[in-house]
Amino acid sequence: MAKSGPRKTNRYSEEFKATAVRLSDLPDVLIQDVADALDIHPFMLSRWRKQAREGLIVTKGVKLDLEAASELKRLRDLEKKYKVLQKEHDLLKKAIRFASDQKRKSSSSSKQTGKPTKSQ
């Protein structure tokens, strides 16, 4: 069943749009990161960027929140480090699994032949 009543839409000020566009123009900052930080959809931010290129949104003279920009950069760096740590963790898990499989194979082969292995 459909919802009754009008659909709620957010109205953003021109200053908010301009600030969002300026943040997304910073080096090493992704549109997705800015959109997530500002709790808006990335498509909306892309549309605002297009409007700014066309001159419909004025971004010149808008003060950029440097604290927010540095926080976005810090979050991006942390995400990169997290991905590296995840890969390292997965690699270590595979190495442990491989080593335990090798140990199991060598102990089962020595039991079958009755000969001790080098590790014993």
Specify the pTM. 0.48
Q: Hey, where are the domains in the chain?
A: 14-107
Considering only the C-alpha atoms of the chain, give the largest distance between any 2 of them, rounded to a whole number of Å.
84
Q: Higher pLDDT residue, 56 or 94?
A: 94
Mean pLDDT of 68-88: 85
pLDDT, averaged across the chain: 81
Q: How far is C-alpha 78 from the chain's CA centre?
A: 9
Determine what percent of the chain is predicted with pLDDT higher than 70: 78
Inter-residue contact 24 to 34 (CB < 8 Å): yes
The per-residue pLDDT for range 14-46, each reduced to its tens digit, is 888 988 888 888 888 889 988 988 889 999 999
